[in-house]
Amino acid sequence: MPSPTYHANIFCKYLVILGLISLFSILFFYNLAYISSQSLDRNISTIKCQESLLHPKEATTNLSHLMFVLAGSSRTWKNRRTYIESWWRPNVTRGNLFLDMEPSKEFRPWSPTLPPFRINEDFKKLRIYPKLANPVHVRIYRSILDTYRLKQDDGVRWYVMGDDDSLLFVDNIVDMLSKYDHTKKHYIGTFSETIKSNVRFSFDMAYGGAGYALSYPLVKALVTKLDECIERYHFIWAGDQLQSFCLADLGVDVTHEKGFHQIDLHSDLSGLLSSHPTAPLLSLHHFESVAPLFPDMNRPGSVLHIMKAANVDQSRMLQPSICHVRASKWTFSVSWGYSAHIYESIFPRSYLKRPIETFRPWLKGRPPFYMFNTRPVSRDPCEAPHWFFFDSVEQEKERVVTSYTRKFPRNMTSCSFSGNISADPVVSIRVFSPKTAKEGRKVECCDVEYDGADVANMRLRDCRRDEIIA
Ligand SMILES: *[C@@H]1O[C@H](CO)[C@@H](O)[C@H](O)[C@H]1NC(C)=O
Ligand SMILES: *[C@@H]1O[C@H](CO)[C@@H](O)[C@H](O)[C@H]1NC(C)=O
Ligand SMILES: *[C@@H]1O[C@H](CO)[C@@H](O)[C@H](O)[C@H]1NC(C)=O
Ligand SMILES: *[C@@H]1O[C@H](CO)[C@@H](O)[C@H](O)[C@H]1NC(C)=O
Ligand SMILES: *[C@@H]1O[C@H](CO)[C@@H](O)[C@H](O)[C@H]1NC(C)=O
């Protein structure tokens, strides 16, 4: 999407060329009447060009343009510290962690590897305070106002909100935000995975734990009306729903981005993380409501582990690539930096896009549960994949090598309806990817090399024109 300044520059060049042509005409004909009629054109072009010099072509959005507004509480900080620490870049990422009260002695002095902490302004003085449905959420919501009042916003284009248990993939967030015009009002996030949550709260809001972004002009408009809005909606329980109401009344509705994840889910996320949409991964959340992301690891350990891959190439994080071995009738699929599968049948991408339902919904009740289609967990050897999980990442001169290893046996016979060739001997899968970042929504194809040994190699590459992944 070319920026408006790009058009202005083209326009300016066009006028300069016109100006030069008219100048040559003048020298050539030396006709006074002609000069006076043409100088008007030149004056217009001078004015236009002076305008574009006053507003030179802007730098593309980078990490320094983002102000992170992170909300936590002193009570939960002990168990959640790893989540923020794993993605925060000291002296690079800008922002603050807002707490309800001073953190306890065990955290002092405050570590420089963390965002500085701030205590939210005491808002008990607000007239509406006694009537608030959920003062905790209102405190968290007012972190936007508290951030604005710190006057640290020099050069800031976006506020990015997150909780203390949100894992943010900041390079991808920068990449995603750079598609939008930060001088306009934007509210960018996503809804919950669970249909019932969206029915109860709203389909039309950005869930707070998933993280969301507000362009700076929208922040400026919001802060002048924020307390007034809290008063108008004092009966609203959820802070992120309150936010969507305040912004709706300012004339701004949410824009959905698929890479944010509220994770309103329970149990095992592996099925979901193995079939991520082909869009940059922006966030993960709610680690304490789900099993650790990797088998044989604890929660903080599994978050640090997934960040090892993310620190090398965020553009490919959880990006799926699918390829087939025709001779043995196998399908390989990788979710970069997380898992790899071998199926003993040929499956098309259209089917493998659907996550295997290893997880449970946030709220019990009757289906349908989710905002997306799923595949059931299967005990059929033709349907059930062999699972391999991310083990290591290495950077070579021109490529990156990620390895995925088998953590448990499949315990099934081979798929006799297909090639009847078992993938049990495969112990690990190595995936070779280019060093260059992947474009946001581009699907990458792959080739498999496997000679019957215990390691299979997958090489990611651009898809050929008209290549069918089936
Ligand atoms: C062009 O601009 C100059 C000063 O900037 C002014 O004196 C002149 O009258 C203008 N010419 C026309 C045709 O507007
Ligand atoms: C980010 O953009 C600003 C201009 O707004 C520039 O001064 C700065 O060097 C850029 N930072 C990086 C890391 O590219
Ligand atoms: C951040 O910058 C400060 C001052 O420039 C420096 O003392 C400190 O070591 C830096 N911290 C890290 C973690 O790089
Ligand atoms: C496979 O069998 C082993 C031994 O009987 C058992 O410990 C393991 O849990 C089984 N794995 C799966 C995925 O069913
Ligand atoms: C599949 O392979 C197994 C073991 O290699 C063999 O016992 C079985 O007969 C084969 N099934 C078919 C349908 O070929």
Question: Ligand 2: distance of its center to the CA of 231 in Å?
Answer: 39
The DSSP 8-state label assigned to residue 194 in this structure reads B
Residue 90 Cβ < 6 Å to ligand 3: yes
- The residue-averaged pLDDT of 167-174 equals 98
What's domain 63-256's architecture? Alpha-Beta Complex (3.90)
Fold exhibited by the domain 292-462: Cation-dependent Mannose-6-phosphate Receptor; Chain A (2.70.130)
C-alpha angle 255-256-262 in degrees, rounded to nearest 5: 130
Residue 301 Cβ < 6 Å to ligand 3: no
Q: Ligand 5 atom closest to Cα of 417? A: 13
- Give tens-digit pLDDT for 70-98: 999 999 999 999 999 999 999 999 999 99
**Closest ligand to 90 CA?**
3
**Residue in 63, 64, 93 to alter for ligand 2 test, most ligand atoms within 8 A of Cβ:** 64
| 83 closest CA partner among 74, 91, 92, 72 | 72
- Give tens-digit pLDDT for 443-463: 999 999 999 999 999 999 999
Instruction: Tell whether the model's pLDDT for residue 383 goes beyond 60.
Output: yes
Work out the pLDDT band at 41, boundaries 50, 70, 90: low
CA distance 404 to 458: 11
Residue 411 Cβ < 6 Å to ligand 3: no
Give pLDDT, residue 58.
Answer: 82
Torsion of CA 159, 162, 164, 169, to 10 degrees: -100
Measured from CB, residues less than 6 Å from any atom of ligand 5 are 414, 416, 420
Give pLDDT, residue 440.
Answer: 86
For atom 13 of ligand 3, which residue has the closest CA? Answer: 90
**Residue in 91, 92, 113 to alter for ligand 3 test, most ligand atoms within 8 A of Cβ:** 91
| Residue 123 in tokens | 């808002």
CB-based contacts of 2, cutoff 8 Å, min separation 6 = none
CA distance 299 to 304: 9
Work out the pLDDT band at 221, boundaries 50, 70, 90: very high
Positive/negative CA dihedral, 67, 243, 174, 186: negative
Instruction: Tell whether the model's pLDDT for residue 283 goes beyond 90.
Output: yes
For 343, the 3-state DSSP assignment is strand
- The full set of domain ranges for the chain reads 4-54, 63-256, 292-462
Residue 46 Cβ < 6 Å to ligand 1: no
Q: Ligand 1 atom closest to Cα of 39? A: 13
| Residue 216 in tokens | 């700076």
Question: Ligand 2: distance of its center to the CA of 63 in Å?
Answer: 8
- The residue-averaged pLDDT of 404-422 equals 96
Residue 408 Cβ < 6 Å to ligand 4: yes
Amino acid at 411: N
The number of C-alpha atoms within 13 Å of 450 and in the hemisphere containing its C-beta is 26
Q: Ligand 4 atom closest to Cα of 411? A: 1
CA distance 387 to 337: 14
Helix (H) or strand (E) holding 458: strand 455-462
Residue 116 Cβ < 6 Å to ligand 3: no
Tell me the Ramachandran region of residue 318: left when phi exceeds 0, alpha when psi lies from -120 to 50, beta otherwise.
left
Give pLDDT, residue 2.
Answer: 46
10 versus 386: which is more confidently predicted?
A: 386
Give pLDDT, residue 451.
Answer: 92
Torsion of CA 110, 87, 273, 285, to 10 degrees: 40
For atom 1 of ligand 4, which residue has the closest CA? Answer: 411
Give pLDDT, residue 19.
Answer: 57
Task: Report in angstroms the alpha-carbon separations of 201 from 143, 205, 243.
Answer: 21, 8, 12
| Residue 49 in tokens | 């060009």
The DSSP 8-state label assigned to residue 126 in this structure reads S
CA distance 129 to 121: 13
| 404 closest CA partner among 419, 396, 392 | 392
Amino acid at 421: I
CA distance 47 to 34: 21
Residues in the chain: 470
Question: Ligand 3: distance of its center to the CA of 94 in Å?
Answer: 13
For atom 7 of ligand 2, which residue has the closest CA? Answer: 59
Burial zone of 56 (CB within 10 Å; 0-12 exposed, 13-18 middle, 19+ buried): exposed
The number of C-alpha atoms within 13 Å of 218 and in the hemisphere containing its C-beta is 26
CA distance 141 to 89: 24
